[in-house]
């Protein structure tokens, strides 16, 4: 049975040491505008997809929140259907929380950004602004520009001439990056904004490597009037030499000593794995995707190291839970774990020797990358009938709904479809389909979310619900016409937040001012 948690009780949870999760199920734009500090964002439409990884132990206390409690109640019911046994709803939602003058914040991945600005304020991480960097490029100065974002982000837009070096790989590979450079070469670290540039530069600073961060990243570059490079292909990482690995291991030992990182041997890891049936234990492999796919310790999820730091609130959704990092030795895992210790997370461990030690102790590895499948998908499919693209085209039901993001809807949908965010489905569907006896069809991008929404419609009393098998991908493959744009959408969607240089100049400036302001309290100290 879903219970209610008062604002005061939630405040006490944050002040205590008991494990719990606070999950905000609103749309991305709503969360970005204001949310409770310490909450993790999982929109209602993606709940079944993300919750198994976000909260792997189904006995954990999960508090669900939204603005007024309506969507949270629906999401809580879904969690109970999925087998979660300790689910609660924030009474009155964020509206009541705010009226009690309890703290709120805006933005995404705030914990890492806040800490990045602390690093900047306390340690005075060296920076170079965009005009000065451009001047040096034009002058032909010796430069190495390392982009610490994911390879995918880097390829979308990058500083001209920069190369991809994801943050989790930086300390591990920097020795081999700089070993053949001339002594007067400047190493520049950048990201989309500020955080990953600051963090990466601070990593090298602590390692004893001279580097400077690009102030305000690619956003600052664009605001200064310079062009970004799109589709850059300099993503191949340098091989790690014996010397490079040794340097990374020495750095890891320094971090472990200074930041209090603890290690688990094979027996300790097996004991931790056994605890997963009784409590939340996160298992995170922070190597490259290719390394993870070749072989990883069973149960470990892939989450690249740099993003583990940037998106710590997505990794550690359950507060006060145990987090175990692994790589192929201990260098990269220790680098990531040290940041989590600096964040104030206590129960952080590293698998000593990683996958190498695990196999040497007789453990086996799994290969491949787990396909993301929503929990409860099979049960949902049993409640609805599937329909092929051609059958849907011929049937012409009374209403056709698209339940993925507005961005995906705009990219292409069945002509005449209505977009309804699944987060609002229960509350908006009757305005589009007032008769529960008339046939309705549900579509999505790839066929995963539509069955879940279709099952919800069945639970609401709709008698004739069809789901497009394979989603819009199957519709397109069948050669059927697509309608593009936000056709029929009356109000501006708030389910997508534009990031990086895709923002308008005003939005970029506002965002950078917000990031910088996070560090003011530390500068005052």
Pick the more confident residue, 343 or 13: 13
R_g over Cα of the chain: 24
Could you please report the per-residue DSSP string of 133-145? HHHHHHHT--EEE
Q: What would the pLDDT profile of 364-420 be if each residue is shown by its tens digit? A: 999 999 888 999 999 999 999 999 999 999 998 999 999 999 999 999 999 999 999
Q: Is the pLDDT of residue 457 over 90?
A: yes
Residue 284 pLDDT: 97
Residue 263 pLDDT: 97
- Torsion sign across C-alpha atoms 373, 374, 378, 381: negative
Strands 20-24 and 318-319: antiparallel
Residue 251's pLDDT band, with cuts at 50, 70 and 90, is: very high
What lies within 8 Å, CB to CB, of 236 at 6+ separation is none
User: Helix, strand, or coil here: 362?
Assistant: coil
Q: Is 104 exposed, middle or buried (0-12, 13-18, 19+ CB in 10 A)?
A: middle
127-149 exposure pattern, b = at least 16 Cβ within 10 A, e = fewer: bbebeebbeebeeeeebbbbbbb
Residue 394 pLDDT: 95
Q: What would the pLDDT profile of 102-122 be if each residue is shown by its tens digit? A: 999 999 999 999 999 999 999
Q: What would the pLDDT profile of 73-112 be if each residue is shown by its tens digit? A: 999 999 999 999 999 999 999 999 999 999 999 999 999 9
Pick the more confident residue, 484 or 523: 484
| Alpha helices for 224-371 (secondary structure H) | 242-259, 266-274, 289-294, 305-310, 312-315, 331-342, 354-360
Tell me 474's DSSP state: H
Residue 525 pLDDT: 60
In sequence order, what are the beta bridge partners of 366?
A: 296
Quick one: average pLDDT of 172-200?
94
Quick one: average pLDDT of 277-286?
97
- Torsion sign across C-alpha atoms 223, 227, 232, 236: negative
Whether 174 and 204 have beta carbons less than 8 Å apart is answered as: yes
CA angle 359, 360, 364 (to 5 degrees): 20
Q: Is the pLDDT of residue 306 over 90?
A: no
Quote the CA–CA distance of 358 and 142 in Å, as a whole number.
Answer: 43
Q: What would the pLDDT profile of 434-443 be if each residue is shown by its tens digit? A: 999 999 999 9
Residue 524 pLDDT: 66
| Alpha helices for 149-300 (secondary structure H) | 151-156, 167-178, 195-207, 217-223, 242-259, 266-274, 289-294
Give CA 443 to chain center in angstroms.
25
Residue 267 pLDDT: 92
Quick one: average pLDDT of 352-368?
95
Q: Is the pLDDT of residue 1 over 90?
A: no
What is the CB neighbour count within 10 angstroms for residue 390? 13
Tell me 490's DSSP state: -
Q: Is the pLDDT of residue 502 over 90?
A: no
Kindly report the pTM of this predicted structure: 0.94
Q: Is the pLDDT of residue 44 over 90?
A: yes
Whether 54 and 522 have beta carbons less than 8 Å apart is answered as: no
Residue 487 pLDDT: 92
Quick one: average pLDDT of 280-301?
96
* Domains and their CATH numbers in the chain: 3-108 (3.40.250.10), 112-239 (3.40.250.10), 246-360 (3.40.250.10), 377-477 (3.40.250.10)
479-511 exposure pattern, b = at least 16 Cβ within 10 A, e = fewer: eeeeeeeeeeeeeebbbebebbbebeeeebeeb
Tell me 320's DSSP state: T
Residue 500's pLDDT band, with cuts at 50, 70 and 90, is: confident
Q: What would the pLDDT profile of 201-250 be if each residue is shown by its tens digit? A: 999 999 999 999 999 999 999 999 999 999 999 999 999 999 999 999 99
Quote the CA–CA distance of 196 and 116 in Å, as a whole number.
Answer: 8
Nearest to 159 by CA among 112, 239, 213: 213
Residue 419 pLDDT: 96
Quote the CA–CA distance of 161 and 147 in Å, as a whole number.
Answer: 10
Residue 220 pLDDT: 96
């Amino acid at each position: 049975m879903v219970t209610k948690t008062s604002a005061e009780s939630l405040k006490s949870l944050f002040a205590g040491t008991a494990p719990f999760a606070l999950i905000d199920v609103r749309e991305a734009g709503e969360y970005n505008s204001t949310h409770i500090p310490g909450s993790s964002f999982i929109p209602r439409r993606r709940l079944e997809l993300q919750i198994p990884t976000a909260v792997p132990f189904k006995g954990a206390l999960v508090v669900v929140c939204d603005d007024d409690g309506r969507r949270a109640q629906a999401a809580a019911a879904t969690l109970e259907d999925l087998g979660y046994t300790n689910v609660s709803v924030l009474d009155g939602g964020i509206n009541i929380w705010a009226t009690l003058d309890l703290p709120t914040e805006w933005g995404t991945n705030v914990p890492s950004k806040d800490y990045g600005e602390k690093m900047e304020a306390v340690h005075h991480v060296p920076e170079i602004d965009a005009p000065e960097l451009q001047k040096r490029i034009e002058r032909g100065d010796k430069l190495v520009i390392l982009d610490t974002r994911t390879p995918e982000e880097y390829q979308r837009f990058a500083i001209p001439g920069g190369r991809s070096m994801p943050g989790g790989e930086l300390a591990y590979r920097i020795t081999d990056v700089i070993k053949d450079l001339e002594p007067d070469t400047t190493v520049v670290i950048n990201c989309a904004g500020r955080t990953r540039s600051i963090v990466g530069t601070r990593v090298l600073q602590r390692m004893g490597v001279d580097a400077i961060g690009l102030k305000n990243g690619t956003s600052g570059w664009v605001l200064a009037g310079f062009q970004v490079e799109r589709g850059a292909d300099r993503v191949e990482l340098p091989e790690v030499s014996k010397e490079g690995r040794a340097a990374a291991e020495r750095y890891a030992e320094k971090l472990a000593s200074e930041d209090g990182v603890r290690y688990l041997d094979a027996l300790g890891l097996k004991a931790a794995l056994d605890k997963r049936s009784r409590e939340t234990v996160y298992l995170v492999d922070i190597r490259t995707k290719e390394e993870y796919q070749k072989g990883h310790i069973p149960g470990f999820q892939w989450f690249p190291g740099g993003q583990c730091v940037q998106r710590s609130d997505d990794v550690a959704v359950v507060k006060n839970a145990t987090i175990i990092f692994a790589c192929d030795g201990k260098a990269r895992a220790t680098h990531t774990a040290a940041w989590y210790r600096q964040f104030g997370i206590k129960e952080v461990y590293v698998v000593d020797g990683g996958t190498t030690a695990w196999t040497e102790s007789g453990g086996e590895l799994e290969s491949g990358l787990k396909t993301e499948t929503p929990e409860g998908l099979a049960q949902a499919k049993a409640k609805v009938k599937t329909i092929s693209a051609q059958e849907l085209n011929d049937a012409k039901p009374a209403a056709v709904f698209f339940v993925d993001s507005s961005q995906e809807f705009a990219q292409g949908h069945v002509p005449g479809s209505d977009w309804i965010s699944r987060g609002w489905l229960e509350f908006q569907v009757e305005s589009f389909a007032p008769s529960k006896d008339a046939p309705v069809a549900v579509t999505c991008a790839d066929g995963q979310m539509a069955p879940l929404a279709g099952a919800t419609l069945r639970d609401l009393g709709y008698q004739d619900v069809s789901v497009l098998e394979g989603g819009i991908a199957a519709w397109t493959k069948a050669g059927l016409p697509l309608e593009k744009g936000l056709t029929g959408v009356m109000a501006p969607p708030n389910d997508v937040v534009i990031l990086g240089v895709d923002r308008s100049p005003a939005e970029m400036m506002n965002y950078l001012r917000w990031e910088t302001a996070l560090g003011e309290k530390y500068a005052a100290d």
